[in-house]
């Protein structure tokens, strides 16, 4: 009985210390995307809601996405970029890890865009 009580007490203390560390880290570096949210709501930049439903635009987006996902040299961050095609124009948006990934995604988009113009708005994420 004493051993069980001691074990529970130790687990409780460990849990509280982990929660305290997580809370202090979270408050020290708040997540703030306010600037990007304002930019995206302004209508000046393309968002995923701007993807066209036309057959041709959907085929272009799908071809680019398949090429990006197939490339094993890209990080998951690069594979998750937004690919938006509307009226035969492709827009690439989102973060990538480095300039090489930015170039690779843009090259894959160009090669699979079927002649559509590609606007590269990818951002290299700053190292932390």
The model's pTM: 0.65
- Provide the phi-psi class of 84: left if phi over 0, else alpha when psi is between -120 and 50, else beta: beta
Residue 111: predicted pLDDT:
96
Q: Which two tokens stand for residue 9?
A: 């007490």
- Mean pLDDT score, 104-121: 94
Q: Which two tokens stand for residue 50?
A: 């701007």
CATH of the domain at 119: 3.30.70
The verdict on residue 6 lying in a domain is no
Counting the structural domains of the chain, the total is: 1
**What residues contact residue 84 under an 8 Å CB cut-off, 6+ apart?**
46, 47, 48, 50, 51, 61, 90, 91, 92, 93
Q: Which structural domain range is residue 94 located in?
A: 46-124
The verdict on residue 22 lying in a domain is no
- Mean pLDDT score, 46-68: 83
pLDDT tens-digit profile of 74-93?
A: 999 999 999 999 988 999 99
């Amino acid at each position: 009985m004493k051993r069980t009580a001691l074990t529970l007490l130790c687990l409780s203390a460990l849990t509280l210390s982990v929660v305290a560390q997580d809370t202090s880290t979270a408050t020290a570096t708040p997540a703030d995307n306010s600037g990007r949210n304002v930019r995206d709501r302004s209508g000046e930049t393309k968002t995923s809601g701007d993807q066209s439903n036309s057959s041709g635009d959907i085929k272009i987006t799908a071809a680019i996405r398949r090429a990006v996902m197939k490339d094993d040299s890209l990080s998951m961050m690069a594979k998750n970029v937004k690919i938006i095609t509307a009226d035969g124009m492709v827009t690439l948006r989102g973060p990538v890890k480095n300039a090489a990934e930015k170039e690779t995604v843009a090259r894959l988009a160009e090669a699979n865009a079927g002649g559509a113009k590609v606007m590269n708005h990818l951002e290299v994420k700053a190292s932390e």
